Amino acid sequence: MIWRYIAFLAKEIYFYSSEICPAGQFSPDNTACTACPKGFYKEQPGVEPCTPCPSDLVTQASGAMSQDQCIGMYCIASWID
């Protein structure tokens, strides 16, 4: 019985210690952090999902850490030229 309790505590400690991701990343499965995809950002550490950019705005790259990194589509098109 004591081993079940120890295993339970170890699992809970692992779960809580493994779910904190830095800004610009999230944890879709609560075990590994992944960069927010293009068009999304996340300003605070944690496992919460990334926030989509406002309408008609996207990010230039994945892993955006601020809404300020959301820019208009026409800006990205001009970078390609």
Q: pTM above 0.85?
A: no
Let me know if residue 48 belongs to a domain: yes
Let me know if residue 4 belongs to a domain: no
Structural domain range at position 72: 19-80
Let me know if residue 57 belongs to a domain: yes
Cβ-contact 45, 56 below 8 angstroms: no
Average pLDDT over the chain, rounded to an integer: 79
Let me know if residue 31 belongs to a domain: yes
- Between these two residues, 37 and 47, which has the higher pLDDT value? 37
Let me know if residue 32 belongs to a domain: yes
% of the chain beyond a pLDDT of 90: 52
Q: Domain of 35: which CATH number?
A: 2.10.50
SS3 annotation, 15-62: HHHHCCCCCCEECCCCCCCEECCCCEECCCCCCCCCEECCCCEEECCC
Q: What pLDDT was estimated at residue 5?
A: 44
Let me know if residue 14 belongs to a domain: no
- Between these two residues, 15 and 48, which has the higher pLDDT value? 48
